[in-house]
Structure 1
């Protein structure tokens, strides 16, 4: 193998590949990444035995000699980070891959690539297609609401469901829930989609997918996503996702509030909260939202915002970090808070396609 390339041509791709590579594995071979130079392009392969990532590079890179090598991706990543922008040469010599350019030379040991897993191809008709930037945005607005709990795998994942021309993405840790619904141009090619995706797969997709159309194919225990230069596939998470529709209450109270002012008020009130008792009291009364937080050993905060609310006073406690995380991914100037009563979740809405639900922190009475 021999390549001439610009650092910027492969740096991001190697970063994304290394995010897939496991730090520890019973299969040492997959702690490496595979480079394949063929037909005027370079393919980068990375896997952790559950996720498979393939990235194709055909710009700002010249394949002088074809070949296949397996190398320590993290070492290669570190080299690319340090050498900076410029033109470089990568040459396979015996059991080493030599990088030359701009007054530096590195030799990376190679590994026999014969035992590296063979990735599944994406040749079947996709279940549906949509803009990559749209799919990426849907995941960004939901994945943060998952729970890192090994005993409940489904809480570690994101639900992808769809029927006809509607796609839903949902995440929950049972104390909050994020839901995005989008209409796609062409109806889904199968009766229904209902699968749970791992958070690592979702984060890999967010980092790898660009603003170009993507194709999605689901199978019994696997999902594949493909664009012009990136293919990602992953095992699905086993288990049954909670019935999220039952968790969303029919609310009687609707309160509009400026999103940036609300975020600012929450940040101020959060100053007097602790990791143990991280909650803020929300008091809705007389056209005022009063946020109150206190720490007996430090002090307290009272922050008020003007709102349009003249009904019976309502007091509820919420984890301020949970509320802020939902508000940050919204893009509208105003948000609407929907309430049922002090024991039911609050529903925050920005755009019509996004719903964010937060359970109150119930105080002991």
Structure 2
């Protein structure tokens, strides 16, 4: 099976890596497509990759795994949507753009909705596999324990607080919480890790970098692997970010500010204040522990570390039964959009 791992944004690297490892184990050939503007950020420089769409087309893939919204219709191969987050309330999460033959969902909440959409559009299949980015939760849950212990010793702290907001200008809390983090940092039992999305506004990135430089117990993290910080943190602060769900699956407390989720099962505030007291109360009482379990059951009930394997096997089974699609039928406007993004081949 010849596979393309399709990357439009840096967040795709961590989602697709577990799939790459499965492909290696099975001796399947693969090629990374990495958009030219993010090529320098690509962490697997010794792996086969290209930014040339012509080269991808000539590769003649059987399967294309896509953790994004678009994929060229003219590429050969089963076009598989594997998603880039768990936030079902985000605009566009359940939008059918007609680029994909197969949707591999993370859990029952997503599966139910995509099965309903399948009945409506009748031009794709849906299977539930779990999400490969979270395979580490089943395989290496304690991978960063030593690093965490060393960090706490170095900073003479007891608790790691992770701040991971969304980048969306209309939803991000980053513009409003900087004073709250200054106040929180006065309590030296906390080590505060700031982890921003790649697309966060440059001025906010610089503002928080300066805060970290001037504050002994705040670190601005630039390493792209957010999973590392999710595993190390004791509590997370965020807003309307899909990373909230990734953290909840670890059964640790979350505090959000002005989240627009329709099903909030954690501590959410509609005012940008009282961060310190909220962290204290959530660490002490953790009143949302039972509710978090409901999120896990519906959003991602898989903790066996084999979601990537299920994705590869589901895709192989599909093409064995149905053959490899040569291209995807699209409307003129959809084709035009693909031409604008990726060129016409």
Whether the TM-score (by the shorter chain) exceeds 0.5 is no
Identify the structure with bigger relative contact order (alpha carbons < 8 Å, sequence gap 6+): 2
Q: State the structure with more CA Rg.
A: 1
Normalising by structure 1, report the TM-score: 0.20
Structure in which a larger fraction of residues adopt strand: 1
Normalising by structure 2, report the TM-score: 0.21
